[in-house]
Amino acid sequence: MILRNTIAGQVLLLLLYARHTFFSSAKTVASEQLSMALPEPRAYLPDAQNLDFVYHDHEELTRFLRATSARYPNLTALYSIGKSIQGRDLWVMVVSSSPYEHMVGKPDVKYVGNIHGNEPVGREMLLHLIQYFVSSYNTDQYVKWLLDNTRIHILPTMNPDGYAVSKEGTCDGGQGRYNARGFDLNRNFPDYFKQNNKRGQPETDAVKDWISKIQFVLSGSLHGGALVASYPYDNTPNSMFQTYSAAPSLTPDDDVFKHLSLVYARNHAKMSRGVACKSATPAFENGITNGAAWYPLTGGMQDYNYVWYGCMEITLEISCCKFPPAYELKKYWEDNQLSLIKFLAEAHRGVQGFVFDPAGMPIERASIKIKGRDVGFQTTKYGEFWRILLPGYYKAEVFAEGYAPREVEFVIVEQHPTLLNVTLQASKRVEGVGAGGPSYYRPMQAPQHYRPGGPPPYAAAASTENGIFSTISNGLNSLYSNIFG
């Protein structure tokens, strides 16, 4: 009563009443908004700061990528490398401090997800990786260094048509694995060991054209159905019943591939433990395996990247269940986030530099081979090259048409990449035959370090296999891959 009879008391009562009215109204509005949101299982906002841990269909994926590109124009660029059978764009998002143009002297790297449509965990992880990169650039010094010194290309889904017919919660089986024409895209590339007669598909043709135009140094392909980092070779020159010939097929860069695989596995929350997904499936020591030692396959993407273009690609199997429930995605992100970032940084290990002519102009498509490692690589139009190598002493053989070949020695240390610039001299002048004959420069033919048109000599016998035994072997391969990845 005293409060009511004083001015101060009346003012206080008015304030208390206003406070009560405001919070009551706020609670009512919040309650109404909550009830309105309940029928919708999620409120998807494509330009929201935080990306939902749900599976995004192709339209949602497209909206997210476009919105992110519009929101972060200084860090991202969006482009399509082609379309699927059913006309869905194969979107690639570049994340870098120089997204619209190649940064001279800085490597291009890539991730490819969802090559098998029913293995979409990698698809979602790559969307979250994009979101993490753009939102952490100004606060995470490691991310800033990575984006300032690397151009990262991310293809979240290579098989959007297969994803469209896949079913969430399906851990095994082949529904959605293939593209709309029924082709396994990870068996659709040219092969080093065996003739691959499968008709090329628009999705694989788009990827082949993509990597022929950009000199990628490092790459990861994300899959599901196992928990392991698998490295080349995926195939073997052995012919009969190759599914059961569990012998390694090692590249000249086996030490590097093992290292790259271990970088991913050891930064992963579980992979390096080498625990089998099921009692009937194999366990992998340290969470890595040679592809052919696991089970050989013909026409795989990682072998093609390596042999044809010198790109060090490994296959990352990141989920025991191929299409796990969406509520598990957050845990998969927590398990893979550090691995996805640390793996890309390995592009800055080894040797890098330029090949010039005597006038200091860059030489495009100079062929380079590390002595003792038969798979070579080439320079970009700016004369740049990169090669991931572990610490040690090396010799590089450098060739270019019209120039004298050169051999250079260099040392790799652990702390930082070795910078190596090479100048090639023009070939010797050769006079024409007879008096008054023409003079010309004899071009020096670079040795063929890339995959030739046909199979290698030691695999010639393997490439001729056909008939019932080949059919049986291919059938066993398909069955095995549907079960294990």
| Catalytic positions, written as ranges | 317
- Bridge partner residues of 153 (DSSP): 94, 110
Cβ atoms of residues 346 and 218 within 8 Å:
yes
Distance (Å, rounded) from C-alpha 99 to C-alpha 317?
A: 28
Name the amino acid, one letter, at 456: P
Distance (Å, rounded) from C-alpha 376 to C-alpha 374?
A: 6
Distance (Å, rounded) from C-alpha 191 to C-alpha 239?
A: 14
The tokens of 281 are what?
């499936």
Secondary structure of the chain: what % helix, strand, coil (to 5)? 35, 20, 45
Distance (Å, rounded) from C-alpha 339 to C-alpha 53?
A: 19
DSSP 8-class letter at 244: G
Q: How many CA atoms lie within 13 A of 211 on its CB side?
A: 29
> Distance of CA 195 to CAs 32, 250, 449, Å?
64, 19, 19
- How do strand 418-423 and strand 367-370 relate by DSSP bridges? unpaired
- Backbone conformation region of residue 114, classed left if phi is above 0, alpha if psi is from -120 to 50, else beta: left
Residue identified by tokens 């992110």 is: 68
Environment class of residue 255 by beta-carbon count within 10 Å: exposed (0-12), middle (13-18) or buried (19+)? middle
**3-class secondary-structure state, position 9:** helix
**3-class secondary-structure state, position 155:** strand
Query: ∠ CA(212), CA(112), CA(94), 5° rounding?
Result: 75
